[in-house]
A and B are shown apart, each in its own frame.
Chain A
């Protein structure tokens, strides 16, 4: 597949993602889901820009966070106003699942492009996108785990003492 073709597919993928995330953010019933998808929608916009820039032969891999740790603050901020007593809406849970699914597919897509491309800077570009999608997946997953079981989350982070 030539570079132009892969960029076209990537762009379509990102546009689809942006639309989906904006929809999820709007319909979100709890602050964690809302913040997570707002952030991700913004990230997709950045991806769209990056792809367009690359196409216009700027050929530069943008800078940005490539691991969950780098975007951890989004998660930490989002959970502050979550009502632990509230049960998560099934729509929200479904949104997270669909989000993870999309990130997984995006990762696989970019991995394929990464493996197929022969040019150094193209490889680097797709590798960057791979890492970002992976970190996005982790963000959605962590948010999903949190809203499904906030007590479990705090139990884990605050630790416990065993007898033994």
Chain B
């Protein structure tokens, strides 16, 4: 599968939606949806992609799709998946159908965490894809537990006394791994083939699968729309966003950067971090670098690298 072959795939998520120019999420969606030839039934949590893809009477979805509320795409898709199994059991359906739940970091890390955990624990055969843009972006950049340390959001802004998010982000990938599900992966919009292959692998495995994908937000991280992929690349190269997968509990590193790119290179590209570059805040950048290095070492050990 070459990148150009994507164009030949049926258009499950069509163009014309209202997402911002330069948004990474539609790229992620199209890549994931192309990773299986089986029909897909999808659902979204309330968020950027749900709102921009489904303003009545228009829809971007060329496949069956459901939106329920903010925190419950996991049980909603659980219900659809169970209905499918029930119909199959009663001999009323024969096709193989794949189920995908999409959620932003808002609907996944925070308000949707409980119901995600429930669905993973119950073993439903579905793939959960979280597009992580590091805040509640649909409503204008409020802080989520996925917001990186030091980032300025509207509910935890940088000011005179406080300097943006005061805590490091929650590691949801590890929480998913703790559910003992067959497949968990971390991917990025900058490494498209890696993302595609991971989604493909996920679709071929039975049971609950979880992926979190790095999804830069041009509008609210504040960078030029053309730079989306470049910034995602910097996140990966600086080890801020490692690419790895866990298959049946075994860790595997997907990509090892050959150069030492300081995390500062990534931070300086977005205005949400601009206050960190004041002389009085430089120590915070050092703190981020230290944390990034420590997490990277931990990951290398797990991957036996």
Contacts and interface: CB of A to CB of B under 8 A. Distances in A.
A and B touch in the complex (CB under 8 A): yes
B279 A104 contact: yes
Contact of A145 (B51, B139, B274, B278): B274
Given A69-B160, A162-B139, A141 B274 contact: yes
Contact of B222 (A103, A133, A138, A152): A152
Contacts of A67: 160
B305 to A, nearest CB: 36
A137 B47 contact: no
Contact of A164 (B138, B271, B277): B138
B78 interface: no
Contacts of B140: 160-162
A2 B188 CA distance: 53
B279 A164 contact: no
Contacts of B277: 100, 141
A164 B139 contact: yes
B46 interface: yes
A164 B47 CA distance: 6
A107 interface: yes
Contact of A162 (B138, B271, B282): B138
A100 B282 CA distance: 13
A134 interface: yes
Interface residues of A, number: 23
B280 A163 contact: no
B272 to A, nearest CB: 11
A100 to B, nearest CB: 8
A138 B160 CA distance: 12
Interface residues of B, number: 17
Q: Which of A103, A138, A145, A162 has the largest count of B CB atoms less than 10 A from its CB?
A: A162
B160 A103 contact: no
Contacts of A133: 279
B222 A164 contact: no
Contacts of A163: 51, 138
Interface in B276-291: 277-280, 282
Contacts of B138: 162-164
Contacts of A19: none
Contacts of B137: 162
A55 interface: no
A103 B279 contact: yes
A94 interface: no
A138 B278 contact: yes
Q: Which of B46, B139, B140, B278 has the largest count of A CB atoms less than 10 A from its CB?
A: B278
B280 to A, nearest CB: 5
Interface in B117-174: 136-140, 160
A137 B46 CA distance: 40
Q: Which of A131, A134, A163, A164 has the largest count of B CB atoms less than 10 A from its CB?
A: A164
A108 interface: yes
A157 to B, nearest CB: 13
B261 to A, nearest CB: 20
Nearest to B271: A145
B51 A164 contact: yes
Nearest to B224: A149
Given A131-B280, A162-B140, 8 more contacts: A67-B160, A104-B279, A130-B279, A134-B280, A137-B279, A141-B278, A152-B271, A162-B139
The 10 residue pairs across chains A and B that have the minimum distance between CB atoms: A107-B279, A164-B138, A164-B139, A134-B280, A162-B140, A134-B279, A163-B51, A162-B139, A104-B279, A137-B279
18 contacts: A67-B160, A69-B160, A100-B277, A107-B280, A108-B279, A130-B279, A130-B280, A134-B280, A137-B278, A138-B278, A141-B274, A152-B222, A161-B140, A162-B140, A163-B51, A164-B46, A164-B136, A164-B138
